[in-house]
Amino acid sequence: MSSTKIFLKSSDDKTFEIDETAARASETLKNIIDGGCLDGVIPLPNVSSNILPKVIEYCKKHGGDNGSSKKIANGGVDKDKEILPDYDEEEDKREKVRVDELKKWEEEYMDFDQQVLYDLMLAANYLHIKGLLDLTVEKAASMIRGRTPDQIRENFNINSDFTPEEEEEMILIEDEWDDEWAFD
């Protein structure tokens, strides 16, 4: 693989460098590169300079491999490998280590607040980086699951635009598990 450098310009006019192989993690960038009209710097008017390095970090890690986060989602088992006739136990172990390492990396990588999450999610959507979009969406969902509307609003800094009566109506109330029951 060649390691041609690509230059990306953020919305606030700062230029960042990325390897072409890494840039290919983004479907949008890949199309621009393959389109052959690449002339110097690619402007990214929707991505700011505090998010772009984060995006580049992800692309570097995944180097054009869009499927890696999927493997994790499937519990690290690559189904194609299982049906190979010369199944290699060593290879399987190495794969597991690789997946574990990636999981750990993702955990550290994803440690940021909701504002970065929001911007990174939009950047991943704009640049068509499926793995990153998946990660950010999953993080947002994890900040919703099992929480009350108030907690969710706090997590994402959202103001309720419902009337107090509407809010009251929408409250989900837990009931007694086994209260007395009169059958009639």
Partner 1 sequence: MGNWSDLYDEILELIIDKIRTIEDIIRFRAVCQSWRSVSVMKRQRQRQRQLCPWLMLAARKGSDRRSFYSLSTQKVYRMDLPGVRGRRCWFSQGWLITFGVDMEMHLLNPFSQVRIPLPPQPSLPYQYSPESKFNNPKVLLKIFIKKVVLSSKPSLSVKTTHCKDSKDENCVIMAISSQFNTLAFLRLGDKVWTPIDSPLGFCDIIYFNGQFYAVNTSGRLFICDIYTYFLVESLGELFLIGQGNDHPDFDEHGYNNPDEPVNENTGGYETKGFFGFGVYKFNFDNRKWTHVRSLENRTFFVGNNTSLAVFPSNQCPGCEPNCIYFIDSYHDSFYYGAAHDMGVSWINPRGIQPQYVGRRIFSKICTPLWVGL
Rule CB under 8 A: which residues touch partner 1?
114-115, 118-119, 121-122, 125, 133, 137-138, 140-141, 144-149, 152-153, 156-162, 167, 169-177, 181-182, 184
Q: How far is the CB of 164 from partner 1 (least distance, A)?
A: 12
Specify the residue, 38 or 143, whose C-beta has the smaller distance to partner 1.
143
Contact yes or no for 61/105 (Cβ under 8 A): yes
CA dihedral sign, ordered 31, 62, 59, 100: positive
Amino acid at 22: A
Q: How far is the CB of 155 from partner 1 (least distance, A)?
A: 9
Specify the residue, 96 or 153, whose C-beta has the smaller distance to partner 1.
153
- Residue 8 has, within 13 A of its CA and on its CB side, a CA count of 30
Q: How far is the CB of 75 from partner 1 (least distance, A)?
A: 17
Specify the residue, 31 or 160, whose C-beta has the smaller distance to partner 1.
160
- The CA distance from 129 to 131, in Å, is 6
Contact yes or no for 155/147 (Cβ under 8 A): yes
Q: At what angle do helices 130-142 and 114-126 cross, to 10 degrees?
A: 150
| N-terminal to C-terminal alpha carbon distance within the chain | 77
Specify the residue, 90 or 176, whose C-beta has the smaller distance to partner 1.
176
Q: How far is the CB of 168 from partner 1 (least distance, A)?
A: 10
Q: How far is the CB of 91 from partner 1 (least distance, A)?
A: 31
Specify the residue, 3 or 159, whose C-beta has the smaller distance to partner 1.
159
- The CA distance from 123 to 159, in Å, is 24
